[in-house]
Amino acid sequence: MSDAALPDLQGRPKGGLLKKLILFPLGIALLGGGGFGAGLYYAGERLSPSQEVLRLIEQDAAEADAEGETGPKRVPKAKPETPVFETQYYEFPDALTTNLKGSRRFLQVGVGVSTQYDATVIANVETHAMALRSDMLAVISGFAEDEVEGTAGRAALATALQDAINARLEALEGFGGIEGVYFPSFVLQ
């Protein structure tokens, strides 16, 4: 039997409590520190996926140069430098309601327009809103019920409204500028 397992005169093992008080926190500190160190080691070595791809491409290019490959070399695609324009939107305040051609049903639509030109186009739309609403009602009433149903029908109606709005703006202001027509609400009854 070992000395640590022998009880002293009071019936307690010799030095057992003191060893536990010292070794237990020391063991926890060593394990925690080891885990922390291993985490730092692996995290420091790892590359992000994009960095790893770039490293592999550079490595392939270096190997190709070392092997003396001839022929065209790969050139990475450059991002095109196209200007990005801000799109401005305007929604007519009230919905347009009109009967459809050859039908007892009517169509009620909210109409919005967009442009990537400056604020002058939107100002022109606001200035001539009454004339534009009249032109839009005339265009909508020229469509039959089956012509406005479905996605294709809405797209055809939007194109027709865009043409009418631009024609009116060109006649009044010399420039249209409306690039899109949208329907925030579309009710066929």
Domain with CATH 3.30.479.30 in the chain: 88-188
At residue 108, the 3 state secondary structure works out as: strand
Q: 26-36: per-residue pLDDT in tens?
A: 888 888 888 77
Superfamily of domain 88-188: Band 7 domain (3.30.479.30)
Q: CA torsion angle for 118, 124, 127, 128 (degrees, to 10)?
A: -150
Q: 73-97: per-residue pLDDT in tens?
A: 444 555 556 666 788 899 999 999 9
> Over the chain, what is the mean pLDDT?
80
In this structure, what DSSP letter does residue 46 have?
P
Q: Is the pLDDT confidence value at 14 over 70?
A: no
Within a 13 Å sphere around the CA of 167, how many CA atoms are in the beta-carbon half?
Answer: 10
Residue bearing the bigger pLDDT, 133 or 116: 133
**Given its phi and psi angles, is residue 104 left (phi above 0), alpha (psi -120 to 50 degrees) or beta?**
alpha
Q: Does residue 183 contact residue 110 with C-beta atoms inside 8 Å?
A: yes
